[in-house]
């Protein structure tokens, strides 16, 4: 009986570790590359475990595409005195996002920092 319990607990930990690794595995993004994308902040998804910001920007062909930018959780920004309301104030305005883009070329990225319309730079990832 103890063997089954030990096996179940071990398998549970292994499953949890696999899920955590998959969630935090950044091979989807090119961490060695940073690009600046200028566009209009169009939407916020302010929740744990990650905030997502969406911005509309013209691609190389001049067509508008929506970028999905993965950010740190809300607490990361709150510690730095940056809140959801700060981003809500600039919805519909032009921002510059420095990001690590998706490896597959899709309009997705991990946000490193964002320059607000008033020139304020918000660091969105440690060490930026």
Run means of pLDDT, 10 residues per run, the chain, 128 residues: 59 47 64 96 96 96 97 95 97 98 96 97 75
Domain assignment present for 59: yes
Please give the pLDDT value at position 27: 79
Confidence at residue 63, expressed as pLDDT on a 0 to 100 scale: 96
pTM over 0.85: no
Domain boundaries, position 116:
27-123
CATH, residue 115: 2.40.50.140
Query: Within 13 A of 9's CA, how many CA atoms are on the CB side?
Result: 6
Residues in contact with 76: Cβ distance below 8 Å, sequence separation at least 6, in sequence order:
124
Structural domain includes residue 103: yes
Q: According to the model, what pLDDT value does residue 115 have?
A: 98
**Are 58 and 107 contacting, i.e. CB atoms less than 8 angstroms apart?**
no
Residue 115 lies in a domain: yes
Looking at residue 124, its pLDDT comes to 87
CA distance 128 to 123: 7
Nearest to 39 by CA among 80, 67, 16: 67
Domain tally, the chain: 1
């Amino acid at each position: 009986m103890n063997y089954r319990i030990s096996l179940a607990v071990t398998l549970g930990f292994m499953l949890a570790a696999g899920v955590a690794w998959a969630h935090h595995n950044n091979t989807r993004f090119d961490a060695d590359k940073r690009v600046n994308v200028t566009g209009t902040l169009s939407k916020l998804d302010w929740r744990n475990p990650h905030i997502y910001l969406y911005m509309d920007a013209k691609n190389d062909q001049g067509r508008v595409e929506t970028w999905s930018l993965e950010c740190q959780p809300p607490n990361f920004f709150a510690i730095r005195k940056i809140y959801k309301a700060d981003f809500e104030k600039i919805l519909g305005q032009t921002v510059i996002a420095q990001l690590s883009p998706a490896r597959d070329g899709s309009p997705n990225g991990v946000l490193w920092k964002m320059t607000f319309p008033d020139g304020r730079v918000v660091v969105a990832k440690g060490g930026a």
